[in-house]
Amino acid sequence: MASKEQRHRAIQEIISRESISTQAQLVERLRNMNFDVTQATVSRDISELRLVRVPLGRGKHKYALAHLELSEDVMDELRRIFPTFVRDVDRGENIVVLKVSEGHASGIALLIDRLRRDDIVGTIAGEDSILVVGRTIQAAEALQEEFEALLTQGSDTM
Amino acid sequence: MASKEQRHRAIQEIISRESISTQAQLVERLRNMNFDVTQATVSRDISELRLVRVPLGRGKHKYALAHLELSEDVMDELRRIFPTFVRDVDRGENIVVLKVSEGHASGIALLIDRLRRDDIVGTIAGEDSILVVGRTIQAAEALQEEFEALLTQGSDTM
DNA sequence: TGGCTCAATGCATGAAGATGCGGACTGTGC
DNA sequence: GCACAGTCCGCATCTTCATGCATTGAGCCA
């Protein structure tokens, strides 16, 4: 049985590879990949992944990843979950390593990716670790400090 | 009589100032500003302005300006320089390796980073090679094909 | 003026997306 | 085991959005 998280990954991959204009189309692609879902579920997935439907003019549309300054929202989310799931922040040169509660690595890494910061080249999530690749050592130092700050001072804005 | 152009500007101003979640709401705001329009017209305006409706979770939405042209421009740039500077595309698992003309690696890697594609975890540029780390092996396979297409002719969609 | 064409728009309706409800399943505590 | 709570998801339906068609009005020219 395919998990919801796998399906979310699949959706992101599908829309970044091909041009999907309706949820029905997405359902079709997912079914070809053996995800047995309906439009209702895809609608909920799109909402959770915050995908946007971009008008391309003359009535064409395509789904895309939201490239927005939603960063604020993402930061709020990170502030909320960091103290709960992240246990340690360390660094080797330009790589910041986060130790997190088992199973939460990919979720947190996804959030960090969504920050779309220019000083972060990318992230890789394992079981209980996340590697955050800084663009430079200096950038990684600053990141390390920011992450450490998130660890101790958990605020919430709901 | 307010022109279409004026209305378009008003719409952009409204959505950047307050949180608009449906076209009906936008019609209401426009009417308060003496633009006498219907939902049909607003729908066409949104299409022309390429505004996106972003899901905010828990069933909330808001209209926002789309930021996608960036990737389009970057793709054009890549199409232009790929045949000139990239000499080979290869892959090992989820890592795509580009062999490029000496000294051009970092410039091209920067462009690839700017695509901000979720299926690309990150890139690392050496002297004459670029490693592009795909999020999955499947993603890297697809990337390899796309890069190869760019190599021979510059006319595909990404 | 009368007769074109074209852009803009409303109306009515069809298409696409969101959601309330309930069933199936899982995990937890007693 | 049973009861309860939580999550996921399909179905049916409602809401929201897109659009074919008709109308209006502006600009143009004979």
Predicted confidence (pLDDT) per residue in B98-107, tens digit: 888 766 676 6
- For the CA of B47 and the C1' of D18, the distance in angstroms is 10
CA–CA distance, A23 with A16 (Å, rounded to integer): 15
How many A×B Cβ pairs under 8 Å?
A: 80
Quickly state the pLDDT bin for A158 (edges 50, 70, 90): very low
One-letter amino acid at A4 equals K
- For the CA of A31 and the C1' of D25, the distance in angstroms is 51
On whether any CB of chain A is under 8 Å from the CB of B54, the answer is yes
Mean pLDDT for chain B?
76
Q: Is the pLDDT of residue A43 over 50?
A: yes
Q: Which residues of B touch A62 (CB under 8 A)?
A: none
Cβ–Cβ below 8 Å for B50 and A64: no
B78: distance to nearest CA of chain A, Å? 17
A88: distance to nearest CA of chain B, Å? 23
On whether any CB of chain A is under 8 Å from the CB of B110, the answer is no
Structural domains of chain B ordered from first start: 4-49 (1.10.10.10), 70-153 (3.30.1360.40)
Which residues on neighbouring strands pair with residue B99, listed in sequence order?
A: B88, B129
Quick one: average pLDDT of A78-87? 71
